[in-house]
Chain A
């Protein structure tokens, strides 16, 4: 009996070894998202599959908890460790809570990166930001300038006076303003991320500056409210509302023409890049260290800063040509 058990164990081990050998042919990359069933992440998974198809020897495991909790993600990651995947790319529900589990994964030789929503430095080898403050600052003024070939007056409708993100983006925008001759920023107003206040501020801008050509709103509440205010004032075609918004929320404004274009990250590109980075790190084609560059296929290279994080690209521009495709995604 003992012998038989021993034999079975050997068989089991052999099978296990065999299975591992087979798996080694494919690099298995787990794309762990905040929760399943969210359009944004489904689109990211599509991007990851695109990367897999391009690379050939990659298998993408798209997974995540059913609700956006750190506990759910820890469970998922534990089971991925048990499956001995080659890489985990996670968009975290909590910066710190996942760190111990992800450390365990790294100890087992699994490549761990975070993307979109990052984890603390200890818990990952690299982090992929969708964009950077400088790129966003440049993009929001570029969006306005692209439709004003002869220059014009633009105003900024921000969130609150104390919103860190918006303040940094506006600061970055001001830095690159000399690159856009003719674009004159007449003022910055604050809608406090309230639909009614943003609407009133947009109305106020149109009254104070009758020659206003564009409103830049780097906030999703503000851009929607400003577009509505422009439409209600009958100034579609005269005042272009642009900035940062979500395709699902801005579809109406693009349709009415109140907004010609706006920007936000492209989840497909993000998933694609995350898979590319995970692949290159897992196969030792690149190393994650400050200053290193990691190739991301069609998205170019990712340059890591001193915290091992990097920015993917300019925010992606959405307009009437692609809004239909993306408005159901996120």
Chain B
């Protein structure tokens, strides 16, 4: 199993490299190290959200409210910054994490305690969170000139050659890699998604594990919310509209099985990077905008087809005699 996953990730790495070569033939500047760093930086929010989504999908759930969570947290951070321009960034960051966690908790509790299907819960909360943005902002924008310079400078401040936004994504990748591979919490997500009945027998509370997955996803969405708003220096109701679909797509491309239980941190990161490369390359390779959507969509479908085939692992026949008896 592990070997299969490894190979899937190496295939994805190969696909990204092939994509880069293809792009380089049309626009050589794209593969310059500085530009690749910029692409990684641009993909950072997607990586952060995809890692949260990965955990949720592993437990056989889905979180469609991540983009709305991001937008609401971003709006709250921006409005707070306008009201209290002297608030230190660390406080805003903590608040973003907490707010995201609260929204994740709401999703998690509804799924865990009320046993509502996750797609219904998060479809509902997605609309609710967007609605709340409208209520608190009155539909108005928070603009660049209203935000304090420190607020917008944080994600772009350079540290060892990379912007802080990229470093945050790297930190999230490392933390998630450790959590998923080395902690009982991480292993419980795989257990719950892989075989919920078996998980119960080993003493894992399936609902509780799903709840925790939603909290993680929400927290990461909250973190991305502040970074997003600070990076684009604007907050309004529709920011990151439809971004939840990109996040799910990144996971699917990265080999996270929608059926749960299968997927790795590396896969989610590579899936996000694959989408990030396409998104950043399309504007420079001079392809008709009418084709761009079709190309993005085709990439996702090809990945899904590939994954569906890979998932189709043959069951092991344990009773040879019974097989012939049929």
Per a CB cutoff under 8 Å, which of A200, A224, A228, A250 touches B283? A200
B284 touches A204 (CB 8 A): yes
- What is the interface residue range for chain B against chain A? 20 to 34
B286 touches A200 (CB 8 A): no
Q: Which residues of B contact A57 (CB under 8 A)?
A: none
Indicate if B279 sits at the interface (CB-CB under 8 A): yes
CB closest chain-A residue, reference B229: A195
Contact residues, A182-213 vs B (CB, 8 A): 187-190, 193-197, 199-201, 203-205, 207-208
User: Bound complex: CA of A195 vs CA of B35, how far in Å?
Assistant: 20
Of the candidate stretches B2-10, B233-241, B299-307, the one touching chain A is: B233-241
B144 touches A252 (CB 8 A): yes
A203 touches B232 (CB 8 A): no
A249 touches B232 (CB 8 A): no
User: Bound complex: CA of A188 vs CA of B288, how far in Å?
Assistant: 10
A320 to chain B, nearest CB (A): 13
B241 touches A194 (CB 8 A): yes
- Supposing A208-B27, A252-B233 touch, asked if A224 and B289 sit within 8 A by C-beta, the answer is no
Indicate if B244 sits at the interface (CB-CB under 8 A): no
Indicate if A253 sits at the interface (CB-CB under 8 A): yes
Indicate if B208 sits at the interface (CB-CB under 8 A): no
A228 touches B289 (CB 8 A): no
- Supposing A207-B27, A224-B143 touch, asked if A196 and B232 sit within 8 A by C-beta, the answer is yes
Interface size on A, residues (CB 8 A): 30
Per a CB cutoff under 8 Å, which of B145, B156, B233, B239 touches A255? B145
User: Bound complex: CA of A199 vs CA of B35, how far in Å?
Assistant: 15
Q: Which residues of A contact B201 (CB under 8 A)?
A: none
Indicate if A225 sits at the interface (CB-CB under 8 A): yes
A248 touches B143 (CB 8 A): yes
Indicate if B42 sits at the interface (CB-CB under 8 A): yes
Per a CB cutoff under 8 Å, which of B38, B234, B282 touches A195? B234
A323 to chain B, nearest CB (A): 9
User: Bound complex: CA of A254 vs CA of B232, how far in Å?
Assistant: 16
B29 touches A207 (CB 8 A): yes
User: Bound complex: CA of A251 vs CA of B144, how far in Å?
Assistant: 8
User: Bound complex: CA of A95 vs CA of B179, how far in Å?
Assistant: 56
A226 to chain B, nearest CB (A): 11
Q: Which residues of A contact B242 (CB under 8 A)?
A: 194
Per a CB cutoff under 8 Å, which of B35, B38, B141 touches A249? B141
Q: Which residues of B contact A248 (CB under 8 A)?
A: 141, 143
Q: Which residues of A contact B145 (CB under 8 A)?
A: 251-252, 255, 327
A199 to chain B, nearest CB (A): 6
A106 to chain B, nearest CB (A): 33
Q: Which residues of A contact B241 (CB under 8 A)?
A: 194
Contact residues, A153-196 vs B (CB, 8 A): 161, 187-190, 193-196
Q: Which residues of A contact B240 (CB under 8 A)?
A: 194, 196
A129 to chain B, nearest CB (A): 23
CB closest chain-A residue, reference B283: A204
B315 to chain A, nearest CB (A): 43
CB closest chain-B residue, reference A199: B232
A200 touches B279 (CB 8 A): yes
Indicate if A54 sits at the interface (CB-CB under 8 A): no
Q: Which residues of A contact B205 (CB under 8 A)?
A: none
Q: Which residues of A contact B27 (CB under 8 A)?
A: 207-208
User: Bound complex: CA of A249 vs CA of B240, how far in Å?
Assistant: 18
Q: Which residues of B contact A195 (CB under 8 A)?
A: 232, 234, 239
Q: Which residues of B contact A205 (CB under 8 A)?
A: 283
B33 to chain A, nearest CB (A): 14
User: Quick one: which of B27, B144, B228 has the most chain A CB within 10 A?
Assistant: B144
Q: Which residues of B contact A250 (CB under 8 A)?
A: 143
User: Bound complex: CA of A208 vs CA of B42, how far in Å?
Assistant: 18
- Could you show 12 A-B contacts with beta carbons less than 8 Å apart? A189-B289, A195-B234, A195-B239, A196-B240, A200-B280, A204-B283, A204-B284, A207-B35, A228-B234, A232-B156, A251-B143, A251-B144
Residues of B within 8 A of A (CB): 27, 29-30, 35, 38, 42, 141, 143-146, 156, 228, 232-234, 238-243, 279-280, 282-284, 286, 289-290
